[in-house]
Structure 1
Amino acid sequence: MSHTAHIPSHRKPRRSASKMALRAGVAGGVLSTLAVAAAAGTANAAEPVTETIELPTLTADLSAQIAQSADATAQTADSYEARAQQDAAAVKAAKQAAKDQAEAEKKAEAKKKAEAKAKAEREAARERAARDSERTQLSTSSAPSGGGSSASSASSSSSKSAPASGSVGTVISFLKAQLGDAYVMGASGPNAWDCSSLVQAAFKQVGVDLPRVSQAQSTAGTPVSLSNLQVGDILYWGGAGSAYHVGVYIGNGQYLDAANPSKGVVIQDLSGYPASGAVRVL
């Protein structure tokens, strides 16, 4: 026995041939798999894969649905716009109606006041006319009788008149009620007149419709002589049909007219401003 037999050997034990062969086979298989994978990766890299995505086809039904949706949207927009326009029109109409109502109420109030004033003036005119009639009757009954020159008799017959009564009295009463009113060209009352509007308004009180202007009024009735005037005859200055001024004879050689802006409605003597002619409508 060797003296070193009891010492374990430091040499690695030998592997068996079968184990070594097994390991070599496994390694070779692994290497083969890696080679195949590498080759496949190279091929894939050389030829990129593409994928095709098919889009949906736009059919006739889908087109119709889209068109209907667009039409519905447009109709809704138009409806909103129409409603907005209707609302704006309603607001505007309401404002205008309120304004018109206020103006109508204002006019109605003014008309009511004017009617009340006219009524008061008519009553006052009737009272004045009654007093004037009494004075005229007293003056006529107390006038001295007797002769005189033929000239004075003619003058007296042309200026003398009976107390106004009936329709003529109403005309004269209306005219006298306007004494002191202003003269304004184109005005037709109730507080301002021109010559023809005053005459027209006076005869309208008894249902006689005269033309508005003096030219037409000068031919509206029956022509009468200035020497045979009666109360209520219409006097005119200028030619018949072309008169530039009118007034109404009230008796005693006097007439009442809307004279001019400085005088207004006054009573004047024919001797101071002789008329050109006269017509009778009552």
Structure 2
Amino acid sequence: MDQDERQLHSSSFGTVAVAYAEHRPDYARAAVDWALENAPGPRVLDLGAGTGKLTATLTASPAASSAAVSGAEDIEVIAVEPDPAMLIELRRSLPTARALPGSAEAIPLPDASVDAVLAGNAMHWFDMAAAGPEIARVLAPGGVLAGLWNVFDDEAEWVAGLARVGGSAVIGPRDTPATWRTATAAMHLPKTGGAAWFGSPEQAEFPHGQRRTADSLVATLATRAGVLVMPEQEQEATLSRIREYLASRPETAGGEFTLPMLTGVLRVRRL
């Protein structure tokens, strides 16, 4: 994806900020704890925070994560988001959160001011040539940079079928465990000067099933960038095809079901 295409996709979410907040999943608590494991302190930046899905997970139960952060009693979270509509929705849903306008390429924080930088389903949108130095700048020595992605567990046959029916615009790179491992193994980390800033990356995955109905799953998929940038007729045809598929499957045709997902984490430490 070139820079213009990435900008088109990444800027599409603000048009559906309310639906994004309603339907997108949060993040596995265990994944967040692993991302923050041995961070040197409690100051956490949620970068590219969107409507606050990861911010909410970070702030929901500070005591649950205090053991994962060295010497921390309470996590101090700052959310930074570039899209005004997404930021409005974040502030509406989390009125006590500290939420600032800004981007990965221009972080509105002082040098060495945070102990961890986390990004939920966002790191692949960053221009790491510019974001890498910025993230390294705001991270304290020994701090953690971690990207978290919610992916569909296609070991379930019906989920693999959903991926085939929806196509790559709906479930694409990074959206299933195998493709996520490959896509994040050498990508989405700082490249310019990165060897001097960060240690070796680590990956881990954590189960994170979501309760859905056919309608709510379609609504969730409708907030994905590949769908949002489709021409209207193509978008309607794609979502109609998915509805028909879900109605045809015994796992999804009869009301609520569990959508099997994983939260994958890519973690690296600031030197």
Query: TM-score interval w.r.t. the shorter chain?
Result: under 0.3
Q: Which has the larger radius of gyration?
A: 1
TM-score, length basis structure 2? 0.24
